Structure 1
Amino acid sequence: MTDDGAGLAGFHALPANVATEALLTCCSSPEWARALVEARPYPSVDALLDTADAVLAGLPESEIDQALAGHPRIGERPDTAASAREQAGVATAADAVRSALAAGNRAYEARFGHLYLVCASGRSGSELLAILEDRLGNDAETERRVMRTELAKINRIRLRALLAANR
């Protein structure tokens, strides 16, 4: 994807409180949003994305839990336009796949104590179900690491969309 200098300039021009609120639509961790606002200006979109990844990697688990709280379960009715776009492949899934995703979500949450999070963009319901079933075999530490990686992917997609909206 091309560097969106116009969107980055628009992001830099936002007052801190407005920029923070905009970032919270990408990731609901207040600490993550605050750190990204405080690090402005960025020389490039890549620098913003890299900073977003670095901040996320350093967040305590309590902030990751807040970030997870901003995401619907895979297969449930998305609560934001971003989630609806990201889960578009689930919307057309067969009833059996949707039922299996619901059961898998319950099993996942019982096993790991948090929401099953996956970067769903461009993936079918069946593919998301297969990923969920595979990840149920992870130990808790591995799964927490995988979940953070998926969260970073989602944040990058949403940050790019935010910049596109700030042109």
Structure 2
Amino acid sequence: MTQPPPALAALAAVDAAGLREILLEVCSSPTWAAAVAASRPWSDRAELLAANAKAMAELSAADLHDAMAGHARIGAPKPGDAVSEREQAGVRGADRALLDELRAANAAYEAKFGHVFLICATGRTAAGMLDALRERLPNDPAAEAETVRGELRRINDLRLGRLLDAS
């Protein structure tokens, strides 16, 4: 039997409370964290990412709101939060007018859907995120919830990958 990579084996060996804490840093949904933790041990990275996808697919609307609560508003990374700042690096240096448009579009989105606009911001520019926000604003709530679910899965995949790569 093939051994899992050392970083993955170390993650799988963390005690339940420690693993919960680590996973909640990846995604602030306690339901998601419990589901991913329950899927261990993982034989490889793909198995961990599959656990993320399965857990994401099974989240209720309330669980999705828990997951979104851990994310900063697009265009306003949490000061001092290295993850938020890294993931939203595309807004750095954007001009004031663009940031104002993004702020106004965020407000319209939040008024319609009742939560922050969530997008996998890694590698996207402020203008690209604004375009995506405008494209998604006409969505109905059910369609948008599924779009958010997919974006959260991508964000979690990146965060889990960084977690394994940093170990």
Please give the range of the TM-score, normalised by the shorter of the 2 chains.
Answer: over 0.9
Q: Which residue of 2 aligns with 1:162?
A: 163
- CA displacement at 1:77 relative to structure 2: 3.0
C-alpha distance in structure 2 between counterparts of 1:164 and 1:15, whole Å:
20
Q: Which residue of 1 aligns with 2:55?
A: 55
- Percent identity reads 42
Q: Which residue of 1 aligns with 2:126?
A: 125
C-alpha distance in structure 2 between counterparts of 1:139 and 1:61, whole Å:
14
- CA displacement at 1:78 relative to structure 2: 2.3
Show structure 2 runs of 5+ residues with no match: none
Q: Which residue of 1 aligns with 2:85?
A: 84
Structure 2-normalised TM-score?
0.93
Q: Does the 8 Å contact 2:77/2:88 carry over to 1?
A: no
Please give the secondary structure, in 2, of the residue aligned with 1:77. Answer: coil
Q: In the TM superposition, what whole-angstrom CA distance separates every residue of 1:53-101 from its partner, at most 9, and x where no partner exists?
A: 1111101111110000000000113252111111001112111111111
Structure 1-normalised TM-score?
0.93
The runs of at least 4 consecutive aligned structure 1 residues that moved more than 3 Å come to none
The one-letter code of the counterpart of 1:107 is A
Q: Which residue of 2 aligns with 1:5?
A: 5
C-alpha distance in structure 1 between counterparts of 2:78 and 2:120, whole Å:
14
For residues 54-73 of structure 1, the aligned pairs below 5 Å read 54-73=54-73
Q: In the TM superposition, what whole-angstrom CA distance separates every residue of 1:9-57 from its partner, at most 9, and x where no partner exists?
A: 1101211111110110110001111111121101111011011111111
Aligned residue pairs total 163
Show structure 1 runs of 5+ residues with no match: none
